[in-house]
Amino acid sequence: MDFVQKQYDSWNIQSVERDNFGYDLICTKDSIVKNVEVKGVSGREPAFIITANEVEQANKNPNFVLWVVTSALNSPKGYCWTGCEMLSQFQLKPIQYVARLRPIFRVEKERGCYI
């Protein structure tokens, strides 16, 4: 986070990490607004976990910016993408799902499955 905040040194920076907006920082300078999501990884490859909320921001928010800081623990190097760039340059793969019972749950055997 410190690495990215230094990139916006002359900007007004507000941390919104706990507000679940889909980004971590609101950076403003004059009339420019950047909604910045920060990902830090220990390795050299910019591979990271991204939430559905963050992907939604990349899709719909023209102010969304993704920063990935690689080698974050020893010699950080930062990479920056707009939401559109991120969506076109990264392959997204689901790694988990939320399972909830459907509103009407019947226990009937149909084609080997209970529905």
pLDDT tens digit sequence for 15-30 = 999 999 999 999 999 9
The answer for residues whose C-beta is within 8 angstroms of residue 50's C-beta and 6 or more apart is 37, 39, 92
pLDDT at 54: 98
Q: Which tens digits make up the pLDDT trace of 42-61? A: 999 999 999 999 999 999 99
Q: How far apart, in whole angstroms, are the C-alpha atoms of residue 115 and residue 113?
A: 6
pLDDT at 88: 97
pLDDT at 105: 63
Q: How far apart, in whole angstroms, are the C-alpha atoms of residue 109 and residue 59?
A: 40
